[in-house]
Amino acid sequence: GEYWDQSLCPDPQSCSQNCALEGVDEKGYLENYKASPVQGGIKLEFPSAPRVYMLDGEDRYKMFRLKNKEFTFDVDLSSLPCGMNAALYFIEMDEHGDRNGLNPGGAKYGTGYCDAQCPHMRFIRGEANLLGWEKSHWAVNPDGQNMTGGHEGRYGYCCAEMDILEANREAGVFTAHPCTEQEQAICEGKEQCGDRGEGITGYCDKDGCGFSSFRMGDEKFWGAGQEFAVDTTKPMTIVTQFVTSDNTDAGDLVDIRRIYIQDGKVVKNSEANVLPGGGDSITDAMCSEQNRVFNESSFGFKDAGGLKAMG
């Protein structure tokens, strides 16, 4: 529901002690959320597809150390039309899902979520986020008017986010969202949680620095049909490389590169034709130039520390 039951939740700690998580088994995922295993992966069907996590054993999340490495996955977006978003991304969650005395469930039950949008989760580190429960102004419509969202609590939960892919068969982007804080941080108020409308970055860069081939000037790179360099009517392999300053795991992150493999052929990422300096990957220089060319009102990526902070 939209409101807390005052008989169970008169205060955050009492609420946490009175409430419990109910698990979902494989049958429940299939029947209720249309999520099912396939060989070597998972199949998600919209509009019911849930957010899912990768575990490393029974009670901890799989932790990826990406600097000086590459990450590769296969995906089929052929059935996903414009207006839908299939997202595969990394976030700097706690390995054990913030398991503690108030939250005995932990990673096994999918707790501990955070991202660069600093979401105002109902429970943060096991404690009910019910203080200051009020309607949120979470978006601006094309007329410049605030659109009111649902109720949310006082606190947000922030962490760095690397969007490996946000896409459908008509468009795709990969985006880095750095944060000023290490690991996970609880935020309060617009100075910490950020406010897009007022140009306040807060702990994390909500907009991020991304690479969308269409936005960067190549309208024939990604799309449904053989006339596109990457034909989204067919399965593809996507490779993302995280290059460091000294080509070691300890170096600073300086470049995020992308290549595609389809029908046995390697497809290089498109060029950023709209930028004077060009480029085909995410670097601090490209992000600065993109910010100037598109006349962005703020530059949260730089404010949050850029690629060095992302790494």
* Sign of the C-alpha dihedral computed for residues 76, 168, 114 and 254 taken in this order: positive
Q: Which residues contact 87 (CB under 8 A, 6 or more apart)?
A: 163, 165, 166
CA distances to 70, 122, 201, 227, 228 from 148, in Å: 40, 18, 20, 41, 39
Instruction: Say how many C-beta atoms besides its own lie within 10 A of residue 177's C-beta.
Output: 26
- Name the residues annotated as catalytic: 161, 166
Burial class (CB in 10 A: 0-12, 13-18, 19+), 269: buried
In the numeric block, the tokens 């995922």 are attached to: 29
Q: Is 201 helix (H, G, I), strand (E, B) or coil?
A: coil
Total residue length of the chain:
311
Q: Compute CA 209 distance to the chain's CA centroid, rounded to the nearest angstrom.
A: 12
Nearest residue to 9 via CA among 133, 113, 119, 111: 133
